[in-house]
Amino acid sequence: MLMVLKKETNLKNLKPWLTKGIKISCLNKRRLYLKCRDSDSPILKTHYKRYCQILSKVITIAKRSYYNNLILNTDNKQKTTWNIIKKNHK
């Protein structure tokens, strides 16, 4: 009898700053990329580049806001800051 073992994965959110809106924007970016890849339209390419720039800024702001709130709402700011640094530099 063949027994199949399933590895249990930890479904803990590894990116807690990642919101539903950012996920939707990333999916839209992927669709734009696929259209842009198959097209020679310079208007579509500039729209895709601009979309990528805006999405990068939104992600940066979301990360900064999440980690700032984490630090502000803790009792031990040094420990929280070092835990954030350790977690982000793995």
Q: pLDDT per residue over 44-84, tens digit each?
A: 999 999 999 999 999 999 999 999 999 999 999 999 999 99
The torsion angles phi and psi of 14, rounded to 5 degrees, stand at -80, -20
pLDDT of residue 57: 98
pLDDT of residue 59: 96
pLDDT for 87 beyond 90: no
pTM: 0.78
Q: pLDDT per residue over 23-51, tens digit each?
A: 999 999 999 999 999 999 999 999 999 99
Task: Provide CB contacts within 8 A for 5, sequence distance 6+.
Answer: none
